Amino acid sequence: MNTNGTVRRRTGLWHNEDARRFVSLVATGVLIALLTGADGSQDDSLLAFRESLLSIRLPICVGLMVLLWAVFYVGQRRRISLSPAVTGAAFRQRLRQMPVVRWLLIVAVVGAALVLPPFLSGFWQTVLVNQVGIYVLLAAGLNVVVGWAGLLDLGYIAFFAIGAYTTAYFTGTLPIAPPFVVNPFVAIIFAVLACLVAGVLLGTPTLRLRGDYLAVVTLGFGEIVRIVALNGDDFTNGPRGATNIPHPSITLPFGVHFTVPGLDWKVDWDGSLRWGIDSLPYWYLLLVLTALVVFLLSRLEHSRVGRAWTAIREDEVAAQANGVRTVRLKLLAFAIGASTSGVAGVIYASKVGFISPDNFILQYSIFVLAYVIFGGMGSLTGVVLGAALLTALPEFLRDYVAAADRPTYLGAVLVLMMIFRPAGLVPAGRRKAEITAQQASDPPGSSVQQADQPEAGQPEAGPTASPAGAVGGGQ
Amino acid sequence: MSLQEFCQFTILGLTRGSLYALIALGYTLVYGVLQLINFAHSEVFMMGGFGGMFVIRALLGPSPGMQSFALATFYLVLGMLAGAAAGGLTAWVLERVAYRPLRKRNAPKLAFLISAIGASVFLFNFAGKLWSRQPQFVPQFFEVNKPIFDIFGATMTLIQVVIVGSAFAMMVFLDRLVATTKLGQGIRAVAQDAPTAALMGVDIDKTISRTFVLGGLLGGAAGFMFGMFSLVQYNMGFLPGIKAFAAAVLGGIGNIRGAMVGGLLLGLVENWSAIFIDTKWSDVIAFVALVLVLMFRPTGILGERLGRSA
Amino acid sequence: MRYQTLTRALLIPVVGALTMTACANSDSNNTASGNDCVTGADVAAVAASDGGGAATTAPTTGTTGTNTGKTYTIAFLGALSGNNPQLGINEANAVQLAVKQANDAGTLPFTLKYTSSDDEGAPDKAPAAAQKLIDDPSVVAVVGPPFSGTTKAAEPALSDAGLLSVSPSATNPALTSQGFKTFFRVVPPDDAQGQEAAALLQKYAKSVYLVDDTSEYGKGLADVIQKELGSTSIKVTREGVSDKTQDYSSIAQKVKNANVDAMYYAGYYQGASLFAKSLKAVGYSCLAMSDDGTNDDQFIKGAQDSAEGWLFTCPCADARVDPKAKSFLDAYKTEFNADPGTYSPESYDAANAIIAAMSTISGDVTRDKVVEAVKKVDYAGLTKQVKFEPNGEVSGKTIFVYGVDNGKRVLKGTTTDLLK
């Protein structure tokens, strides 16, 4: 843990790990006191500080933190450190050795997703669809671009917008009349096509840019799409957006008609499925779509294409030299991500029935990216979980903290998560496998938990082995 | 379009652009040494605005009236220093809390991005809680709109002269600092090759920390000037931050002079475009220009690398 | 090497420009003084006495004093966080105050509770926020949402649940023609304000620069004004500037260069106060007008002396200006340690109209009964006589004009008075 101590013998209170931890925990206590305390005022910049710090709140918060420190301190002195057996890494490894457990977990989660929602309140059903379901789809799509192909996309929400506006267009709710009006289900096809085209149009000229240059271009693209939607009154209805987008419906070619003899129980269903204002049917629709997308993507991950993406992510030049068609594959990643986002756009538009440029602001692009990395870039399970947790978090907080403070907690969770689990909630198996493989050639003793051991550090970042990594390693 | 009109919008563009450039320097410095986009830099800027405003307010009260030239200059410098101090402090804390632990754990590159985004979201909402979410303003203590001189009939006002002048002074200062001082040498060494720099006796941790502070000082001072010229608000950093980030990339991220050129150019393009078309499209124009430049110069106008810049 | 060429490249235009200052154009500054335009101060201030409707501050329609012990909730739905929370906070506070006062008066046969649900002002969060209230069986009526966009997103669910919502500030004209069964509003739609604003502009100006903030509200209003002025001889220049802009200098410069008699800004106070400052900086001194979103003391706080002479059209009687609403102002200030802001009085009226309607209901109060009762309500509010048309629009459509005089907002009169 303490890399400083081993290399440089620096004494002094500040360089003492425990003292430092004490100071940071006390600072955290003060922060918590302020965060849970009173709101400030425009005219009196010290009001919030006075109210929060001169009350009983401060000693309580700081006291709790000092207590926490003491527990740590005593724990460390007695060397009750957590053994690898109970840390996540070892646990996961054991899980991998027991596929039954893993399958059971998956079945349990899917089962819960199927069975639980009808028992939830209408609010949670709405949150499940409007926030969780939609963003899970978005995150799964972005994962292809960022997690697998390693392309940083900061304008991803633009494709969501294109999907939603395509739906609005083809359901005849925009000022320009479409050639024919279709059901939102059919609009999925057009939305996917539109997003594919947009993805390729954006990708072709820009994909030769690397890393952060690509990031800023995609960011620009996202803003351009939003501003065009905002200002293109004659086509998109400007800030008024599209209203009354219809709900999807479908008539299956078969119905279900039977009676149970003896009982007074008759099923008479003509095969039509209609979605409406109720959230529950949308949840199952999203569940089916997400399952489909996750299944297709997970097939892709282990295919030739998926391996090629990994190659590009790790070292583009080497990949190209080995015959990987980098441009084409990067375009493919872009297009797949875009079309997934487009599907989410269709569902969102028809669920809420109203879209406006306010739905597609830059912050949302950044949030989706945060969900992907929070969950564990490149790991489908992680990304789905991450998006679900982080979209539900503000809604959980609704009952406990002031509305305006919710984003503050979200921010804190992001920072803490990255400090303590930098690879995300469920780190990607493939990346791990790569690292383990590399470590296998290292001398024994460099252990499983690479996160805590900078000495064994192989930068996970991919092509640009950042000096950050090197710095850690050099210490 | 008359020459006067062109000059007028050029002045506006220079004013806005020099603020962009100052903020962009923060992005570029950090990128230089860490190859990371410091997404929380916009909050450094915001804290600078608050810091400067609080000092001016504490010294002069909410409506101070016009001060004499000497006093106004004194308060101006003081406000800028306060803004810079607040910015520098914020940047230092940011590096300590949101970056260093990740570096020690050898986190993947994008983890830093999310940590920075989280820190940014936390900071600006927290500032909104502590100091209210209403827009606030730096009390005016000198005649900001006093015309100073004319260029082809286009007037440059005092505040514009102050912003452009001090921004240029700071940029030259930074450029010289990086080119000539020991600290600058350290920064360049880390930017070029951190492990080797470490072997040569450069304290990497300290250098990185100081780089953050340096960027924070400039960003904070920019925040105060922005506050005088526009407003101070918890979310004031977001848009200038994004623009300055784009400017840094436009000029060639990691390249100090690139950030200056990129910032000025972005400010100028935004304002020049306003001459011809509706201002509601100026962001689109700016981003289209950015994409076009990057298509022909994929590493920005002046290219990358802080290390090679001098 | 590189350093020198670059510095030179950067400095040449600047230095060049500086050395050529001698060519200063002498007649560039004549627009402000040479243009004989009307300013805000010239607009006749009519005696403010006929301001609001008959104002009674407490709901007095209560039938009996016997409390049945039942508790019902009136909720506020709207932005309490996010990018533009102030309108929502103004409104939420007023609802809270109305509920408290009604309970304190003790004339109601039931006890009222207040709750709120935050939609962050974001259309994608609005349906869930509305659903939160729908799920709570004690909620019988909702005040909100403040914005038209969130209203469109939330209203299908509210309408489906039969839960009444009375918006104090969603002014998009289309809202009442979307088939939302339980949507009412206590403000007239944009077209009412737009028409009156256009008439005023027509009276005082020959050329108008119309600036909207590209928000749904600003653009909608500006569209109405432009359409109205389009049929007259007045020259209209239309431009948009994003409401998130923090630097209005280029648009201000354009307004100044256009040499117009009047400028109308359709948007909210935050943008307007920065815009006002920039307009003053470039030396624009003709008539500057804005709308109810700007009619807020925060505007003056931000724009300071640049606010002087601005006029606002507003379908609202302002509690701070209307002497009759003093008791509301005092109560609000005691309760929240702040002045009521834009749409606080409307929101107060909406809540009180709902309470008045509820007090006419015999037996248990249900959501359906509340909707039916509100359709018949006739309540003398602070801002107007609250009485709804069948489509949910409020009957009274008086537009008031406010102005900034000596750093204070004052009522200049109704548009009818001013247009006489």
Q: Does C144 touch chain A (CB under 8 A)?
A: no
Q: Is residue A112 classed exposed, middle or buried when 0-12, 13-18 and 19+ CB atoms within 10 A define those classes?
A: exposed
Q: Kindly tell me if the per-residue pLDDT of C324 is higher than 70.
A: no
Which of residues 303 through 362 in chain C touch A, CB cutoff 8 A? none
Q: Does A214 touch chain C (CB under 8 A)?
A: no
- The per-residue pLDDT for range C221-234, each reduced to its tens digit, is 999 999 999 988 89
Tell me which chain A residues have a C-beta less than 8 angstroms from the C-beta of C153. Answer: 352-354
Strands (E), chain B: 147-151, 154-157
How much is the pLDDT for B180?
A: 93
H/E stretch holding C167: strand C164-167
Q: For residue C157, give the 3-state DSSP assignment.
A: helix
How much is the pLDDT for A139?
A: 96
Residue C365 CA to residue A169 CA, distance in Å, equals: 43
* Nearest-by-Cβ selection for C152 from A121, A243, A395: A243
In the structure, what pLDDT confidence band is assigned to residue C187 with cuts at 50, 70 and 90? Answer: confident
Closest chain B residue to A217, measured at CA: B291
Radius of gyration of chain C (CA): 24
Q: Does C149 touch chain A (CB under 8 A)?
A: yes
Residue A459 CA to residue A473 CA, distance in Å, equals: 9
- The per-residue pLDDT for range C51-79, each reduced to its tens digit, is 334 344 444 444 445 667 789 999 999 98
Amino acid at C52: G
Which range (A259-273, B93-107, C119-133, C282-296) has the least confidence?
Answer: A259-273
Which range (A65-79, A338-352, B216-230, C297-311) has the least confidence?
Answer: A65-79
How much is the pLDDT for A259?
A: 77
Tell me the count of A-B CB pairs closer than 8 A.
Answer: 230
Amino acid at B162: V
List of chains touching A (3+ CB pairs within 8 A): B, C
Tell me which chain B residues have a C-beta less than 8 angstroms from the C-beta of A25. Answer: none
Residue A148 CA to residue A298 CA, distance in Å, equals: 11
Which of residues 26 through 55 in chain B touch C, CB cutoff 8 A? none
* Nearest-by-Cβ selection for B153 from C24, C85, C241: C24
Q: Kindly tell me if the per-residue pLDDT of C320 is higher than 80.
A: no
Residue C145 CA to residue C171 CA, distance in Å, equals: 11
CB distance B108 to A457 below 8 Å: no
Nearest to B50 by CA among B129, B127, B108, B118: B127
How much is the pLDDT for A105?
A: 81
> The whole model's pTM is what?
0.86
Q: Kindly tell me if the per-residue pLDDT of B4 is higher than 60.
A: yes
Helices (H), C283-405: 297-303, 326-336, 344-359, 367-376
**What angle is formed at CA B222 by the lines to CA C3 and CA C301, rounded to 5 degrees?**
155
Q: Does A381 touch chain C (CB under 8 A)?
A: no
Name which residue leads in pLDDT, A469 or C293: C293
Give the pair of three-digit tokens for residue A310.
């990994």
Residue A422 CA to residue B109 CA, distance in Å, equals: 9
Q: Kindly tell me if the per-residue pLDDT of C25 is higher than 50.
A: no
How much is the pLDDT for C10?
A: 44
- Tell the residue number behind the tokens 């594959």, with chain if given: A329
Instruction: Output the DSSP codes for A64-87.
Output: HHHHHHHHHHHHHHTT-PPPTTTS
Residue A325 CA to residue B222 CA, distance in Å, equals: 45
Amino acid at C345: P
The CA–CA distances, whole Å, from A293 to A104, A135, A136, A166, A271 equal: 21, 13, 10, 20, 25
Q: Kindly tell me if the per-residue pLDDT of C7 is higher than 50.
A: no
Stretch B85-99: mean pLDDT: 95
Amino acid at C189: P
How much is the pLDDT for A158?
A: 96
Q: Kindly tell me if the per-residue pLDDT of B71 is higher than 60.
A: yes
Give the torsion sign (CA, C6, C7, C12, C18).
positive
Q: Does A377 touch chain B (CB under 8 A)?
A: yes
In the structure, what pLDDT confidence band is assigned to residue C29 with cuts at 50, 70 and 90? Answer: very low
- State the 10-residue block means of pLDDT for chain A, 475 residues long: 47 73 88 86 82 86 89 71 55 65 81 89 91 95 93 93 95 90 91 94 84 87 93 89 89 77 74 83 92 92 91 89 90 93 94 92 92 90 92 88 85 90 79 52 40 38 38 32
Give the pair of three-digit tokens for residue A317.
């030049």
For residue C291, report the phi and psi dihedrals to the nearest 5 degrees. -120, -165
How much is the pLDDT for A97?
A: 65
Radius of gyration of chain B (CA): 19
CA atoms lying within 13 Å on the CB side of residue C357:
28
How much is the pLDDT for A95?
A: 60
Give the pair of three-digit tokens for residue C238.
């239309």
How much is the pLDDT for A93?
A: 65
Q: For residue C163, give the 3-state DSSP assignment.
A: coil
CB–CB contact B281 A227 (8 Å): yes
The CA–CA distances, whole Å, from A68 to A23, A71, A87 equal: 12, 5, 20
